[in-house]
Every structure is written in structure tokens, then in C-alpha cells.
Amino acid sequence: MVVEPPATPDYVRKLQAIEGFAEISEVMRSPDFAQGATEDRRAFLFDTLIFIEGREHDERKRVYSELFSRESIACYERDLLQPVIDQTLDRLDAARGSDGLARADFVPMIRLLLHRIAAQVTGVDGVDADERTERFRALITRINEATSSNFARGDSRELVAIGFAALKDLVAEFLQPSLDRRMALVKRLRAGEITMADLPRDALTAKCVAGDLFREGDRGENAHVWRECVLFLIASTGTTTVSLPHVVTHVDEWVREHPEDAPKVRDPEFLRLCVAESLRLHQTAPVKFRVAIKDVTLSSGRTVKQGEMVALHAPAANLDPALFGPDANTFDPYRVPPEGVHPWGLTFGVGPHMCLGRSLVTGIKNRPDEKYGAEGMMVRILKSLYRRGMRLDPDHPPTRTAVTFHDAYASMPVVFARAGAA
Ligand code: HEM
């Protein structure tokens, strides 16, 4: 399978294109550029971590630093993720047909699983029973569609209004009760009745402890704390749910062409290579935006005017043969990236806004031990599913989404061949 850079909407083609790996990295790292986005996205996220810069950004990041420590990541994996994976797999086992096979659609299955994890990392209570998880997922999906309506194909005017209505419901049904519980806990902490170790390990609790919840003029669902929750929820669901199915199609093709590697699909080390290579080939957004805060001349000599929004074509940069070899647009888990370049290239960004959740997704290399080590969410999920005999359903090929410019699958039927513990 040859991977092509994603198509982009017309308005993107009118912006100055930043295309090379080095130039994109320079812009992402530069203090002369700020986060850029269309008005619709900004309306949901304008004062969140991803839209603030400089010292304010450094300080806000520190609020969350403990959430992504080695210890926290190991705990998320072991105590949050693995039980949800096991529950999903037990259900599949219970649903095996008389032929011993279980069938599922990988896309909604993974979405449900990852929404539960996103809820826990963000600090949203009560996303456990099926109906509640489904309701939560539906609300987050509408908000996700609204915040990325600039990549919708066709008419996107309705999406933003639908997204704000979903946010109102999300606050009333999930976020406000979760905040109330955490504020009561922090009150007890301040009174010396409990310690930090008794608090939940999530972003909303971190905001409560920092005492940074509301801004002047905040009203109802239009409040800083809800916007920050939205950032965490969309950053963690809109990405991993899109990335995982790509790994499955690449692994399927690889083991058909390299049958000697078939047993390795249960090996976390091989899966780690597959995940990184697949992440390089597929990014969640077709393009990223930055705005110059003053007139800038880049090392290449390219000039950008103050206030100008530029489009960073990171997916194409990740396919650069000069960096990743002549077959850069194909999947090879054994590819060795050049010195100083991550195996996933620019997929998690670089510079101050680099993905905060990256270690949670990719794991912490060289430490796959019980105490601190982490395989990463993607490897852990895939390992568990492959150990239950998952493969693509040969009779029902996957289908791509047609409603957005995102590089994503809409459906991916899979078959689980045999029972057995993960
Ligand atoms: C495959 C999964 C993921 C991918 C590909 C991904 C990618 C990215 C990228 C490219 C950025 C930088 C955006 C920019 O520079 O404009 C980013 C930022 C961010 N990501 Fe992720 N992400 C993933 C998963 C997650 C998860 C699981 C979480 C949270 C638990 C998360 C939380 C964040 C946050 C909070 C930011 C904003 C950081 C800042 O502005 O300082 N991401 N992500």
C-alpha cells in the first residue's frame, strides 16, 4: 500500500505552504509563531493549553506534568486501560458464534474503549455502563466534528451549533457533577483530611488543585474549565481512534507479504515498531496552522508577514524520501529513522506544543516493567486483541470515511479466531 499525502480543502491551498520537515520543525519551535486555527475551532478552545504561548503556556503545562509522569502512565495502563480491554474481550468471547468465531467492527469497538480511557484521564466520572459511555461518545463526537469542521467535506455550517449544544449537555450530564466531586475532595485536602495520594489522577483534578477554573465573564457552558476539558477529550479521542485502524491494515498487509513475521503480531516489541511506522505514515490532521506574530524570515529564506497564517503540511514531510529512504511512502516496521528524528516523524508535533499525551500513546521505551514501564496504549490494545486471534475479516473489507478530509476509516470488520487469555 502506497501512502499519499492527504487532500486538503480549498481554503488551505490559498495559504502559504510550509512543506519540508526542517522548515515545519523550525516554525513549530519558533517563538515568532503562535497557534493558528479557523474561528470555529478557536471558539471552543481559545484559552486552552493549545492556544496559549510563552510563559503562560509553560506554567499551564506544569499543572499537568504529574499526569504524564512515568508512574502515572504506568498506572493508567495497568489500572485503567487493561481492565477496559479485558472487559471488551470478555464480551467478545461471550459473543462467539457456533463456528467459534467472534465478529466485531474495530472502529466503533476501539472508539468506545478509548472514550472510557479519555474520560478517566480528563476526569469525567460515570463513563462506565454502556448506555452512559455511548451517550458520552455521541456528545464528544459532535464536539469533535465542530472543532474540526474546517476539514469537513460538504456543508459544515450546522456542525458548530450542534457542537455547542452537545457541550451544554456534556457539562450538565457529565462535567459539572465531576467537577463538584473534585472540588469537595480538594476542600478536604486543604482541610488536611486527605492527602494528594487520595485524589484522582486526572486533568480536572489538576485544574481544581491549581485553583484555575473560571475566567471573568464565564457563563454556563462557556467557561474556561469546560474548554480545557474539551481540549483533553478531543485531543485524546479524535487522534488515537483514527490512528489505531491504520496499524491494523498495515500489519495485515505486512504479514501477508512477510509470513515469517505472522507470530510476531503478539510481540509488543514488534508492535511498537509497527505503531511508530504507521503513525509516521498517517497523521490525524491533514495540515496544521500557525500565525506569525511578527515579520519572519526562516532559515530557508522564506518570508512570512506578521499576522499571516501558514499551513504546515506535516503529513507530506513525514513521507520525505531524503529522510526516510526511497520507499518512504510504504510501511516497513524495520525502518531506521535518521539520527535525531523520531520514528513517527512529526506526528506528535515538535516544540512547545508537542503532544502532551505522547508517552501515553507510544509508551516509555526501554522501561516495559511493571512498576514504571509502559508499552503505550496502542501497543497494549493491539497486543491484547492479536492474542485473542484478531484479523481483518476477509469477506468484508474496511471502508474509509467520506465525510471529512481526515485520513480515517469509517468501518473495519474484524474476526477473532479463537479464545484464550490475553
Ligand atoms: C495517536 C494519538 C495522538 C496524536 C497523533 C496526537 C498528536 C498531537 C499533536 C500533533 C499535537 C500538537 C498540535 C500542534 O502543535 O498544533 C498534540 C497536542 C496535544 N495533545 Fe496529542 N495526540 C495524540 C494523543 C493524545 C492523547 C491521548 C492526549 C491526552 C491524554 C493528548 C493530549 C494533547 C494535548 C493536551 C495537546 C496540547 C499540547 C500543547 O499545546 O501544549 N494527545 N497532539
Helix, strand, coil shares of the chain, percent, nearest 5, are 55, 10, 35
Whether 162 maps to a domain, the answer reads no
* Nearest-CA residue for atom 23 of ligand 1: 239
Whether 80 maps to a domain, the answer reads yes
* Nearest-CA residue for atom 42 of ligand 1: 357
Cα of 46 vs centre of ligand 1, distance in Å, is 16
* Nearest-CA residue for atom 20 of ligand 1: 355
Whether 71 maps to a domain, the answer reads yes
Q: Kindly give the number of the ligand 1 atom that is closest to the alpha carbon of 242.
A: 1
Q: Give burial (CB, 10 Å; 0-12/13-18/19+) of 7.
A: exposed
- Give the residue among 284, 237, 261, 283 at the shortest CA–CA distance from 386: 261
Quote the CA–CA distance of 331 and 130 in Å, as a whole number.
Answer: 36
User: pLDDT tens-digit profile of 188-199?
Assistant: 999 999 999 999
Q: Any idea what the CATH number is for the domain that residue 117 is in?
A: 1.10.630.10
Quote the CA–CA distance of 158 and 146 in Å, as a whole number.
Answer: 9
Q: Where are the beta strands (DSSP E) in 36-76?
A: none
**What does pLDDT average to over the chain?**
94
Whether 174 maps to a domain, the answer reads no
| The pairing of beta strand 309-312 with beta strand 16-18 | parallel
Quote the CA–CA distance of 70 and 367 in Å, as a whole number.
Answer: 9
**Are 243 and 378 contacting, i.e. CB atoms less than 8 angstroms apart?**
yes
Whether 147 maps to a domain, the answer reads no
pLDDT of 366 reads 56
**Cα angle 5, 319, 105; round to 5:** 60
User: pLDDT tens-digit profile of 324-374?
Assistant: 999 999 999 999 999 999 999 999 999 999 999 999 999 986 555 555 568
- Give the residue among 46, 36, 37, 38 at the shortest CA–CA distance from 224: 46
34 pLDDT more than 90: yes
Structural domains in the chain (count): 1
User: pLDDT tens-digit profile of 146-161?
Assistant: 999 999 997 788 999 9
**Are 310 and 36 contacting, i.e. CB atoms less than 8 angstroms apart?**
yes
Whether 227 maps to a domain, the answer reads no
Q: Give burial (CB, 10 Å; 0-12/13-18/19+) of 155.
A: exposed
* Nearest-CA residue for atom 21 of ligand 1: 355
Whether 172 maps to a domain, the answer reads no
Q: How many CB atoms lie within 10 A of CB 226?
A: 23
Domain that holds residue 336: 10-126+238-395+412-416
Mutational pocket test of ligand 1: of 290, 355, 362, the residue with most ligand atoms within 8 Å of the beta carbon: 355
Which helix (H) or strand (E) segment is 390 a member of?
strand 390-392
Q: Kindly give the number of the ligand 1 atom that is closest to the alpha carbon of 64.
A: 35
**Are 331 and 253 contacting, i.e. CB atoms less than 8 angstroms apart?**
yes
Whether 219 maps to a domain, the answer reads no
Cα of 236 vs centre of ligand 1, distance in Å, is 7
pLDDT of 421 reads 39
Cα of 103 vs centre of ligand 1, distance in Å, is 31
Cα of 288 vs centre of ligand 1, distance in Å, is 12
Taking the model in full, what pTM does it have? 0.95
Residues with CB under 6 A from ligand 1: 28, 35, 49-50, 61, 121, 231-232, 235-236, 239-240, 243, 284, 288, 347-349, 353, 355-357, 360-361
